[in-house]
Chains A and B, each alone.
Chain A
Amino acid sequence: CNEYQKALKSEDIAAKYKVGEELYNAGKFSKANRLFEQIIPQYRGKPQAERLMFLNADASYQTGEFYVAGYHFERFVSAYPKSSKREEATFKAAKSYYQLSPVYSKDQEDTYTALEKLQNFINVYPESTDVTEANALVKELSFKLEKKAFETAKQYNRISDYKASISAIDNFIIDFPGSSLREEALYIKFDSAYQLAVRSVEFKKKARLEAAEAYYNAFKKAYASSTFLEDATTKYEDTLEQLEQYNTKS
């Protein structure tokens, strides 16, 4: 029967607090939290409660329970607006939501929440040492949203719905103008237009080939040294060749 077990069964809340804090400092967050949760109601309104709530929230964060951690940190922030730990809690609350944000291909609700909370942190504590990290996280999350829109547009190309792919890429470029994925996006737009044109019925073919030609030129102008250029140029030459027929015919 060790100290932890004793504290768990003990009636003495001060002893629980002490053991809990020791466990927290020793990195045993899960055990610490079991003790904290037992005594939080009794400490409510007392001066120790501030520290207790922070430790409780942080222990949740450390054990990977980010949903609970986010909630506890936010409660801490609203309950102790004058606390010296407020800045750290605000940041960790936002970071908890960052941790909850899933892979780009799933629902991004938590990503949007995390972005909002992080931005809020940056606005409130622009001088904080954590701002650099917060900015990095914002960038990472924003890229996730970019990637999502891009992959969706790219998928339309993959399943041979080229019209949808062109529309979705256009939306992507409008929504994320400075995206690092823009290069590939422009390439896919050209590819979709090219595929659409070569599969086209005769009376629409010329216009579609011309559209593909224009997309190629836009792509080449923007990314003259692109890795996609070689493949694009092959398709472009084919486009020109096919266009040639129309020019000689008329």
Chain B
Amino acid sequence: QELSYENSKEYTIADIKVVGNTSFSEQTIITFSKLKKGDEILIPGEEISNAIKKLWKTNLFSDIEVYISKTEGDAAYLEIRLSDLPTLNELKIVGVKKGKQEALIKENKLQEGVKITENLITTTKNYIQNKNRKAGFLNTKVNINTIPVVDSLDNAKVNMVLTVDRGEKVKIDEINFEGNTVLSDKKLRKAMKNTKQKNIIRILKRSKYIEANFKEDLVSVIDKYKENGYRDARIISDTLIKKNAKTISLNIKVEEGDKYTFGDIEFIGNTVYTDDYLRRKLRIEKGDTYNGVLLEKRIADNTSPDADDITNLYQDHGYLFSTINPVEVSADENVIDMEIRISEGKPTYFNKISVVGNEKTNDHVIYREIRTRPGELYSKSNVVRTVRELSQLGFFDAEQIDPQFKNANPDEGTIDIEYGVVESGSSQIELQGGYGGGGFIGTLGLSFNNFSLKDIFKKDAYRPIPTGDGQKLALRLQASRFYQTYSFQFTEPWMGGKKPVQFSTSLSHTKQFLYDATTGNADKDRRFNITGLTLGLAKRLSVPDDYFTLSQALSFQHYDLKNYNTGLFTFGDGSSNNLAYTIGLSRNNTFNDPVFPTGGSNFSITAKLSLPYSLFNGTDYEALAEERDANEALYADTTNDSDVRAAASNRISEIDQERFKWLEFYKIKFKGDWYTKLVDKFVFKSSLELGYLGAYNQDRGVIPFERFFLGGDGLGTYSLDGREAIALRGYPNQALSDNDGGTIFNKFSLELRYPITLKQSAKIYALGFLEGGASYNSFKDYNPFNLKRSAGLGVRIFMPAFGLLGIDFGHGFDPLPGGTVKNGWETHFIIGQQF
């Protein structure tokens, strides 16, 4: 019976019945429908349609209908008719690779037993179509067939056959433009970043048609026009024409409109900066081609947080609450007059500066490094720099330093900052056993990077060691059969807590025994001791900029030889003293993470000098040099009597003992690293390292100490004689210098790094390198182009408890000194040191 809504009538539900092919109980369905026996409802009316909707929503039924089977006065007898949706029995997929079927089933939830709804079929179809289109299969056809299973049970089951025909990969044969006169087709095609014509040469960006990308690219085309002053340009139409199964062409019709130029640009509301100054920042002149994109960028560049734009100009000088709005005031005759409306707001000052999360480090260590101070004008760049410098302390997780702005108060012009930090383990314990230098080497190293000296007598502070004052304390013991080294170092970064003057001191003692060829053991009677003491001061400078550090150090080493004859020293008994002054200037503005810098540079130049003893000690070194030469000649002449030769040899020793009693030398070194962020997370590091060791008095000669040893991993196994191991991968350790070491070296290195993970627990990055270097004995031999070259790959792992570990595989392309074949592959293990 036909009922219209106008004459709907109130009934009481007398009874509800469920009919149809369903496996659900009558009661369940009635409950779902929210209709209840005894309810008074309007028929026709909302309740009935809601009931149908509710049942549909369950996604379990199809063909849902509600009828009145009969009425008795005000009592209505309802009947719900429905049938269960078929469930999926078996799925067959045709045209999709085995490996990809599972993902497809999972993504679309096509497991056995799922209810087959229209919606499911449509979404599955769309999913497959979109996925393939994105891969360039524009003509993908998807067909889904369901076949009811002939089954004895009531609930219907269906088998599904999913056929996918991807067809050929469709490429864009050509992109045609119509209506363009000022910009060529080629230029416009170039503006389209993701939709490209097919081209065999282009490998990285394949030609394919993806609708979403195409729409984006159309916007880029318009942007291109806008950049050139055509701000009315628009796309009138775009058409896709299927040429054949494999190719399509795209026709784009544009309307260019008129070219606009900038007219008068007025600044309104600026009191801090003059119009002139702002205009220079804007770098847009009257008469310039109108370019909305550029204008936006010069006012507020959203792509880079520290861009050189007007917003940052205000932000960096305290105007945190400033807003800048460019407004077009007139566009007569295609000349656009602009007003740049500036609301400067009050200058904002930092009010409260606080730090939270410093569970180990004491406040004073952190606050002194913070560049945003109470009462100071707000500066965004100082916040950025503080974050960078706090991370460089090495006490906190660099990724988690979080400056939170609080209590921003535009009326008072104040803002608080709370720096959130997370402590990271900054102490290292090194316990190492290794095989090298002809025997077992054991190392015990303790290095505490955030030590507290004043707390060492406080029992409570030991958890497990006193920390929190930012001091560094390192102890190191190393021993093998042939040598022992003990060293102690202490560094206080702010001497007296008043000025950033770093005080450091180190003490070391080394004992070296001669190798006894007959027993293969250490000969304890023949030894070489070195005792050293160094005191250093390093001051952070504020001129030329405050990334500079000036350091000075006074060092003293005492060498004591007892019957220790090797090629290195021409005297076996005696002593040498090395009193030197080192001055160095360094600049480090590498950012973020000290383990994995992503930008900035780090360089240092140092000079280490001894006193020019030969100027005032009255020794005639020229005569000594001559006498030495004469004795050398005597010794070298094997026809001479053995007594004469022995006397000559003794005299040489005596002369050398005289020459090296107090070491006289100067040494100059330069080291620079530059970090550049490339695409993605790649970081490019280039470095340059140079060194020169010279003598004031040529007759006295260049000392056999303090020399450079190039090659290998650069790990100094022991600094026997002030020697410096310079890494050059792809060659054995120290193999590229003479036995006595070089006096000049240079090294160039290029490294490409990629971070695999930069988590706090472990930072891992991979690297590839190209490097070259050489060491020479005098300027006569020096040739910066005659390098030992190498290339290779490696990986580094930094864990807070272990420091940096790594392995490099380097291939040396050049022969070792004296060799003729290239050196080939070398494996280097890196511990605690960076290249």
Interface residues on A, range: 20 to 34
Query: What are the residues of chain B within 8 A of A158 when measuring CB–CB?
Result: 497-498
Task: Determine if A164 is an interface residue (Cβ-Cβ < 8 Å).
Answer: yes
A67-106 CB mask vs B (1 if < 8 Å, else 0) is 0000000000000000000000000000000000011011
* Residues 330-370 of B at the A interface (beta carbon under 8 Å): 349, 351-353, 355-364, 367-368
Of A108, A109, A156, A171, the residue contacting B373 (CB under 8 A) is A156
Task: Determine if A151 is an interface residue (Cβ-Cβ < 8 Å).
Answer: yes
Task: Determine if B572 is an interface residue (Cβ-Cβ < 8 Å).
Answer: no
How many pairs, one residue from A and one from B, have CB atoms within 8 Å of each other in the complex? 63
Task: Determine if B131 is an interface residue (Cβ-Cβ < 8 Å).
Answer: no
| Chain A min CB distance to B502 (Å) | 14
A153-191 CB mask vs B (1 if < 8 Å, else 0) is 001101111011011100100000000000000000000
The answer to whether A159 and B499 touch (CB under 8 A), given A167-B351, A168-B374, is: yes
Q: List 25 A-B contacts (CB under 8 A).
A: A102-B359, A103-B362, A105-B362, A105-B468, A106-B359, A106-B360, A106-B361, A107-B355, A107-B359, A109-B356, A155-B368, A156-B373, A158-B498, A159-B498, A163-B373, A163-B375, A164-B373, A164-B374, A164-B376, A166-B375, A167-B351, A167-B373, A168-B353, A168-B375, A171-B351
Task: Determine if A28 is an interface residue (Cβ-Cβ < 8 Å).
Answer: no
| Chain A min CB distance to B667 (Å) | 35
Query: What are the residues of chain A within 8 A of B358 when measuring CB–CB?
Result: 106-107
| Chain A min CB distance to B352 (Å) | 6
B369-403 CB mask vs A (1 if < 8 Å, else 0) is 00001111000000000000000000000000000
Task: Determine if A220 is an interface residue (Cβ-Cβ < 8 Å).
Answer: no
A155 touches B364 (CB 8 A): yes
Give the docked Cα–Cα distance between A163 and B349 (Å).
12
Give the docked Cα–Cα distance between A13 and B357 (Å).
43
Indicate the member of A106, A148, A163 with the most B CB atoms within 10 Å.
A106
Query: What are the residues of chain B within 8 A of A103 when measuring CB–CB?
Result: 362
The answer to whether A155 and B373 touch (CB under 8 A), given A105-B468, A106-B362, is: no
Chain A minimum-CB-distance residue to B370: A164
Query: What are the residues of chain A within 8 A of B367 when measuring CB–CB?
Result: 152, 155-156
B375 touches A105 (CB 8 A): no
A1-32 CB mask vs B (1 if < 8 Å, else 0) is 00000000000000000000000000000000
A171 touches B468 (CB 8 A): no
Query: What are the residues of chain A within 8 A of B368 when measuring CB–CB?
Result: 155, 159
Chain A minimum-CB-distance residue to B355: A107
| Chain A min CB distance to B389 (Å) | 15
A152 touches B363 (CB 8 A): yes
The answer to whether A148 and B497 touch (CB under 8 A), given A163-B375, A168-B374, is: no
The answer to whether A163 and B376 touch (CB under 8 A), given A107-B358, A155-B368, is: yes
| Chain B min CB distance to A147 (Å) | 10
Give the docked Cα–Cα distance between A152 and B468 (Å).
15
Give the docked Cα–Cα distance between A107 and B359 (Å).
5
B364 touches A160 (CB 8 A): no
Give the docked Cα–Cα distance between A168 and B367 (Å).
12
| Chain A min CB distance to B479 (Å) | 38
Give the docked Cα–Cα distance between A151 and B364 (Å).
8
| Chain B min CB distance to A2 (Å) | 31
Q: Which residues of B contact A (CB under 8 A)?
A: 349, 351-353, 355-364, 367-368, 373-376, 468, 497-499
| Chain A min CB distance to B355 (Å) | 8
Give the docked Cα–Cα distance between A88 and B353 (Å).
39
Chain B minimum-CB-distance residue to A162: B375
Chain A minimum-CB-distance residue to B374: A167
Give the docked Cα–Cα distance between A168 and B373 (Å).
9
Q: Is chain B's binding surface mostly helix, strand, loop or mixed?
A: loop
Chain A minimum-CB-distance residue to B357: A107
Of B359, B360, B363, the residue contacting A151 (CB under 8 A) is B363
Query: What are the residues of chain B within 8 A of A107 when measuring CB–CB?
Result: 355-359
A105 touches B357 (CB 8 A): no
Give the docked Cα–Cα distance between A113 and B652 (Å).
77
| Chain A min CB distance to B138 (Å) | 59
B363 touches A171 (CB 8 A): no
Chain A minimum-CB-distance residue to B375: A167
Give the docked Cα–Cα distance between A40 and B616 (Å).
85
| Chain B min CB distance to A111 (Å) | 11
B373 touches A148 (CB 8 A): no
Of A148, A161, A163, the residue contacting B363 (CB under 8 A) is A148
| Chain A min CB distance to B581 (Å) | 29
Query: What are the residues of chain A within 8 A of B497 when measuring CB–CB?
Result: 155, 158-159
Query: What are the residues of chain B within 8 A of A151 when measuring CB–CB?
Result: 363-364
A105 touches B364 (CB 8 A): yes
- Rank and list the top 3 A-B pairs by shortest CB-CB distance, nearest first: A167-B375, A164-B373, A167-B374
| Chain B min CB distance to A169 (Å) | 9
| 19 extra interface residue pairs, beta carbon distance < 8 Å, beyond A156-B373, A156-B374, A160-B499 | A103-B362, A105-B362, A105-B363, A106-B358, A106-B360, A151-B363, A152-B363, A152-B364, A158-B498, A159-B368, A159-B497, A159-B498, A159-B499, A161-B373, A164-B373, A164-B375, A166-B375, A167-B349, A171-B352
Query: What are the residues of chain A within 8 A of B373 when measuring CB–CB?
Result: 156, 161, 163-164, 167
Give the docked Cα–Cα distance between A166 and B376 (Å).
11
Give the docked Cα–Cα distance between A107 and B358 (Å).
5
| Chain B min CB distance to A214 (Å) | 17
Query: What are the residues of chain A within 8 A of B359 when measuring CB–CB?
Result: 102, 106-107
| Chain B min CB distance to A175 (Å) | 9
* Residues 100-129 of A at the B interface (beta carbon under 8 Å): 102-103, 105-109
Give the docked Cα–Cα distance between A107 and B356 (Å).
5
| Chain B min CB distance to A122 (Å) | 26
Query: What are the residues of chain A within 8 A of B363 when measuring CB–CB?
Result: 105-106, 148, 151-152, 155
Query: What are the residues of chain B within 8 A of A155 when measuring CB–CB?
Result: 363-364, 367-368, 497
Chain A minimum-CB-distance residue to B372: A164
Query: What are the residues of chain A within 8 A of B355 when measuring CB–CB?
Result: 107
Query: What are the residues of chain B within 8 A of A159 when measuring CB–CB?
Result: 368, 497-499
Chain B minimum-CB-distance residue to A108: B356
Chain A minimum-CB-distance residue to B421: A107
Chain B minimum-CB-distance residue to A165: B374
Give the docked Cα–Cα distance between A103 and B353 (Å).
19
| Chain A min CB distance to B415 (Å) | 13
Chain A minimum-CB-distance residue to B458: A103
Give the docked Cα–Cα distance between A151 and B365 (Å).
12
The answer to whether A160 and B360 touch (CB under 8 A), given A155-B368, A167-B351, is: no
Give the docked Cα–Cα distance between A168 and B375 (Å).
8
Query: What are the residues of chain A within 8 A of B374 when measuring CB–CB?
Result: 156, 164, 167-168, 171
Give the docked Cα–Cα distance between A4 and B358 (Å).
41
* Residues 205-242 of A at the B interface (beta carbon under 8 Å): none
| Chain B min CB distance to A66 (Å) | 13
Give the docked Cα–Cα distance between A44 and B353 (Å).
48
| Chain B min CB distance to A13 (Å) | 36
Give the docked Cα–Cα distance between A6 and B373 (Å).
63
Give the docked Cα–Cα distance between A109 and B420 (Å).
12
Give the docked Cα–Cα distance between A109 and B359 (Å).
9
Give the docked Cα–Cα distance between A152 and B356 (Å).
13
Query: What are the residues of chain B within 8 A of A166 when measuring CB–CB?
Result: 375
Give the docked Cα–Cα distance between A152 and B375 (Å).
14
Query: What are the residues of chain B within 8 A of A167 when measuring CB–CB?
Result: 349, 351, 373-375
Chain A minimum-CB-distance residue to B420: A107
Chain A minimum-CB-distance residue to B349: A167
Query: What are the residues of chain A within 8 A of B376 when measuring CB–CB?
Result: 163-164
Give the docked Cα–Cα distance between A148 and B375 (Å).
18
Give the docked Cα–Cα distance between A155 and B364 (Å).
7
Give the docked Cα–Cα distance between A106 and B468 (Å).
9
Give the docked Cα–Cα distance between A171 and B416 (Å).
11
Query: What are the residues of chain A within 8 A of B375 when measuring CB–CB?
Result: 163-164, 166-168
Give the docked Cα–Cα distance between A171 and B353 (Å).
10
Give the docked Cα–Cα distance between A167 and B498 (Å).
19
| Chain A min CB distance to B184 (Å) | 60
Chain B minimum-CB-distance residue to A102: B359
Give the docked Cα–Cα distance between A109 and B357 (Å).
8
Give the docked Cα–Cα distance between A155 and B349 (Å).
20
| Chain B min CB distance to A126 (Å) | 32
